[in-house]
């Protein structure tokens, strides 16, 4: 397969990442089929693509896109609650919940449904690609394509080969990423690849330094921004991505590597167990809320 052979892109999972990926693919000119478990989730995803904080309306308002173009992008996205709708997709990007069993079940079904030449890419943040690839026969056409949030804005795509990913699949994924306006960089296949493993070390270290009283939460965030030019401190970042997600990643990396510096700090566990999972619906709040710190 060549890049020119890709006409239809499938996206499985229409959540935070999936809807953004679908938007980028459709904006590049691809026909997109976006699949999720319910019509309600898909409706919400389409609304976000149209008028969310990183959606098409914002681009029209900023003069970066015409009304007609925005309509054409929306018209290129079809939605479905059935994986069967992906039978004609040439390249599929999976962005469902970060659970290995769930992802493997979906990959096995896609392997059956899709054309033999279709490439299947996973947007997993941490699960080894060679592990996820055990679910499919087409291991040469299986790859990691790790996007960043928000997908329409962030430029990096971390591309990860499984042990049996072919050069052809790797090259097409790199070319496709570039065509979609992104900057692909290869990372090796290990738990968390580069970005997730690195960010986890940084986040848990910040919590440990807070726990032993080196500095307060707000002070650590401020120091990271002022000293290193980071756009956001580690506690602000955890509040944004979810303390539950940060905990899940730390536990996964620790379980897989048994390296103590990846282990989840006690305070992080305590907050998550108490319903403080960050600034998202249904949560009691994040670090700043639990400790009553003004933002």
122 versus 169: smaller Cβ distance to ligand NAD: 122
Q: Which positions from 238 through 257 interact with ligand NAD, judged by CB under 6 A?
A: 241
- Return the number of the residue (199 or 223) whose C-beta is nearest ligand NAD: 199
Q: Is 17 in the site for ligand NAD (CB under 6 A)?
A: yes
Choose between 108 and 164: whose C-beta lies nearer to ligand NAD: 108
Beta carbon nearer to ligand NAD, 17 or 26: 17
233 is in an annotated binding site: no
**By CB under 6 A, what part of segment 30-49 binds ligand NAD?**
35-37, 41
In three-state secondary structure terms, 269 is helix
Is 79 strand, coil or helix?
strand
Query: What is the rounded distance in angstroms from the CA atom of residue 52 to the CA atom of residue 107?
Result: 29
Residue 118 binding ligand NAD, by CB under 6 A: no
Q: Does 52 bind ligand NAD (CB under 6 A)?
A: no
Instruction: Give the Cα separation of 93 and 75 in Å (integer).
Output: 19
Whole-angstrom distance, CA of residue 118 vs CA of residue 88: 9
Element containing residue 32 per DSSP (H, E) = strand 31-35
Determine which helix (DSSP H) or strand (DSSP E) holds 145, and give its type and residue range.
strand 142-146
| Residue 125, annotated as binding a ligand | yes
Can you give the C-alpha Rg of the chain in angstroms?
A: 20
Gap between the Cα atoms of 216 and 238, Å rounded: 15
Nearer to ligand NAD, 64 or 99 (CB): 99
Tokens of 256: 């897989």
By CB under 6 A, is residue 16 in contact with ligand NAD? yes
**Taking CB under 6 A as the rule, does residue 97 contact ligand NAD?**
yes
Query: What's the min distance (Å) between Cβ of 238 and ligand NAD?
Result: 12
> What is the β-pairing status of strands 156-161 and 142-146?
antiparallel
- The answer to the question of residue 107 lying near ligand NAD (CB under 6 A) is no
Q: In the complex, what is the shortest distance from the CB of residue 124 to ligand NAD, in angstroms, rounded to a whole number?
A: 5
Q: How many residues bind ligand NAD (CB under 6 A)?
A: 24
239/76 Cα distance (integer angstroms)? 34
Answer yes or no: is 239 a known binding residue. Answer: no
What sign does the dihedral 130-158-124-272 (CA atoms) show?
positive
Chain residues binding ligand NAD by CB under 6 A are 12-18, 35-37, 41, 95-98, 102, 106, 123-125, 147-149, 241
Could you list the residues known to form a binding site for NAD(+), using ranges. 13-18, 36, 98, 103, 125, 149, 280
């Amino acid at each position: 397969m060549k890049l020119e052979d890709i006409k239809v892109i499938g996206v499985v999972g229409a959540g935070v990442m999936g809807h953004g990926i679908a938007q980028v693919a459709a904006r590049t000119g691809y026909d997109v089929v976006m699949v999720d478990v319910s019509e309600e989730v898909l409706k919400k995803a389409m609304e976000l693509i149209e008028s969310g904080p990183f959606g098409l309306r914002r681009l029209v308002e900023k003069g970066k896109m015409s009304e007609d173009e925005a309509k054409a992008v929306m018209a290129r996205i079809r939605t479905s609650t059935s994986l069967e709708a992906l039978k004609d997709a040439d390249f599929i990007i999976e962005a469902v919940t970060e659970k290995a069993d769930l992802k493997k079940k979906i990959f096995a079904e896609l392997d059956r449904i899709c054309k033999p030449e279709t490439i299947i890419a996973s947007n997993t943040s941490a699960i080894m690609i060679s592990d996820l690839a055990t679910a499919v026969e087409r291991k040469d056409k299986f790859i990691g394509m790790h996007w960043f949030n928000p997908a329409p804005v962030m430029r990096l795509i971390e591309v990860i080969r499984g042990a049996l990913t072919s050069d052809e699949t790797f090259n097409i994924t790199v070319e496709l990423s570039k065509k979609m306006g992104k900057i692909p960089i290869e990372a090796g296949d290990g738990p968390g690849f580069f970005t997730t493993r690195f960010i986890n070390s940084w986040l848990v270290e910040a919590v440990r330094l807070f726990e032993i009283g080196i500095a307060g939460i707000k002070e650590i965030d401020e120091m990271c921004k002022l000293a290193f030019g980071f756009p956001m401190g580690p506690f602000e970042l955890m509040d944004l991505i979810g303390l539950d997600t940060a905990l899940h990643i730390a536990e996964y990396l620790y379980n897989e590597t048994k390296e103590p510096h990846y282990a989840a700090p006690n305070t992080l566990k305590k907050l998550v167990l108490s319903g403080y999972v960050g600034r998202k619906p249904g949560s009691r709040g994040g670090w700043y809320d639990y400790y009553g710190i003004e933002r």
